[in-house]
Amino acid sequence: MKEIRIEANGKLGPINAAEIPRYAGAATYARLPRLDQVQQADLKIVGVPFDSGVSYRPGARFGANHIRESSRLIRPYNPAVDLSPFEHIQVADAGDMAVNPFNINEAIETVQQNALDLTADGAKLLTLGGDHTIALPLLRAASERAGEPVALLHFDAHLDTWDTYFGAEYTHGTPFRRAVEEGILDTEAISHVGTRGPLYGKKDLEDDRRFGFGIVTSSDVYYQGVTEVVDKLRQRIGNRPLYVSIDIDVLDPAHAPGTGTPEAGGITSRELLEILRGLRGMNLVGADIVEVAPAYDHAEITGVAGSHVAYDLISLYADQARLANETAAGSGA
C-alpha cells in the first residue's frame, strides 16, 4: 500500500487519513514515519517490550504496540495548545529495543546503551514501556546527555523508591531509589504526582522524604486543582533539565484498567493531560510512559489514554522547538 503522508515545513508527518483509512496500514505511533523513512528525527519514539521487573500482574511487555494501535485516531493539530506538533519537529517511530527478558541487569544495560545511541545525534526520546524498571537506564542516559543530574516529575500511584523485592535491587518498584543513590537526579527538583493507596509502613514516606522527593497525591490534585498543582511543580523544577516518567497507573482504574498494579482513587485522564499541558516552556529532556498492560484493557481504554499522553508530551517537545526557533529568528541568528 502506498503511503500518502501529510507534509509541512519539510517534516514528514502521519499518513493522510483522508486518503487511507485509519484502521489500515502499519501501526507506528500516530501512523508517523518509521525512523528509516526520514533523513533525521528531532524526536524518536521507541518501545521497550520488557516486564521482567513486575511484582504483580505481567503483560506490560506488550504495552508499546498497544499504545501504537490505540494511537490511530491521533490527528495532526492539538487545539488544547494551539499547535501542530508534527510541523515543528520531525517525529519518527524507532521501533522496539531488543532486550533480554531473562536477565534484568543485562536488559538495563541494553536500554541505557540504546537510549544513548538514539540520542547521539541530538534527538530527544519518548519511550513506551514496558514496566517501570526501564526508567533507571533511561534516566542514566538522560543525565549523561544533559551533563548533569536531571529534575524528575514522576506520575504514579506508587513511590517506586523501595529498596529491594526478594533481594532484587532492580525492579519496577525501585528505580528512583537507585537513581538517587547513583546521583543522576537533582534532589532539589524531584516530585511524585498522583500517589495514593496503602504502603508497607510509614518508613516508606520517611525514606522518600529523605531522598528529596516532594509528593503531590491524587487527593491533592482533587482538592487543590490542576492550576495550583502545576504552579507548585513549576516552582520546584524551574528551568532545570526535566525528565517526565509516567506510570499509567497514576490514572484511576476507571481511566486505565489495563495496568499491572491498579489502585483506587486515582486522577482522571483529563487531569493528567491538563497537568502536562501546564509544563509548556519547561526544559524537557526525556520522557517515558510505562506499565500499560493490554491483557487487562477492554475497549482500548488504557491504550487510548497512553496514546494521548504521548501526544501531549510530543506537543511539549514541539513547543520547545517552536519557541527556540522564534527566539533565534528574533535575534537574527
Beta strands in 236-277 (DSSP E): 242-247
Q: Using CA atoms, how far apart are residues 171 and 153, in angstroms rounded to an integer? A: 19
Q: In what order do the strands lie in the sheet with 284-290?
A: 91-96, 43-48, 124-129, 284-290, 242-247, 150-155, 185-195, 214-217
**Cell numbers at residue 33, please?**
514515519
Residue of 95, 126, 89, 88 whose CA lies nearest to 309: 126
Count CA within 13 A, CB hemisphere, residue 326: 8
Give φ, ψ of 126 to 5 degrees.
Answer: -125, 115
pLDDT tens string 94-114: 999 999 999 999 999 999 999
74-88: per-residue pLDDT in tens? Answer: 999 999 999 999 999
Q: Judge whether residue 1 has pLDDT over 90.
A: no
Across the range 187-201, mean pLDDT stands at 97
Distance CA 304, CA 144 (A): 32
294-317 residue pLDDT tens = 999 999 999 999 999 999 999 999
Burial class (CB in 10 A: 0-12, 13-18, 19+), 57: middle
Q: How confident is the model at residue 188 (pLDDT cuts 50, 70, 90)?
A: very high
> Confidence class of residue 203 from pLDDT cuts 50, 70 and 90?
very high
- Average pLDDT for residues 5-20, to the nearest whole number? 95
Mean pLDDT value across the chain = 97
The three three-digit cell numbers of residue 99, written as one number: 532486550
Give yes or no for residue 25 having a pLDDT over 90. Answer: no
Query: At 109, is the secondary structure helix, strand, or coil?
Result: helix
DSSP 34: B
Q: Are the CB atoms for 160 and 172 separated by under 8 Å? A: yes
Mean pLDDT of 87-93: 98
Q: What DSSP character marks residue 32? A: P
Position 210 scores a pLDDT of: 97
Answer yes or no: are the C-beta atoms of 269 and 251 closer than 8 Å.
yes
Cell reading at 265: 482513587
Question: Is pLDDT of 229 > 90?
Answer: yes
**Residue 328: which residues within 8 A CB-CB, separation 6 or more?**
none
| 144-156 confidence digits (pLDDT tens) | 999 999 999 999 9
Percent of the chain with pLDDT over 90: 95
Average pLDDT over residues 26-51: 97
Helix (H, G, I), strand (E, B), or coil: what is residue 193? strand
Burial class (CB in 10 A: 0-12, 13-18, 19+), 332: exposed
Task: Quote the pLDDT of residue 333.
Answer: 61
Fill in the DSSP letter of residue 298: S
pLDDT band at residue 119 using 50, 70 and 90 as cut-offs: very high
76: cell is: 495532526
Q: What whole-number distance in Å separates Cα of residue 302 and Cα of residue 157?
A: 15
User: Given a cut of 80, is residue 331 above it in pLDDT?
Assistant: no
Name residue, grid cell 501501526: 27
Rounded Cα distance between 41 and 93, Å, is 9
Helices (H), the chain: 63-70, 85-88, 104-118, 135-146, 175-181, 202-211, 218-224, 226-237, 269-277, 301-331
pLDDT band at 73 (very low <50, low <70, confident <90, very high): very high
Grid coordinates given for 30: 500516530
Residue 249 to residue 88: CA distance in whole angstroms: 31
Segment 275-298, tens digit of pLDDT: 999 999 999 999 999 999 999 999
Give the pLDDT mean for 219-238. 98
Residue 32 predicted with pLDDT over 90: yes
Mean pLDDT of 206-225: 98
- Is pLDDT above 90 for 29? yes
Q: Residues for the chain: how many in total?
A: 333
Q: Alpha-carbon Rg of the chain, whole angstroms?
A: 19
Measured distance between the N- and C-terminal CA atoms of the chain, rounded to whole angstroms: 43
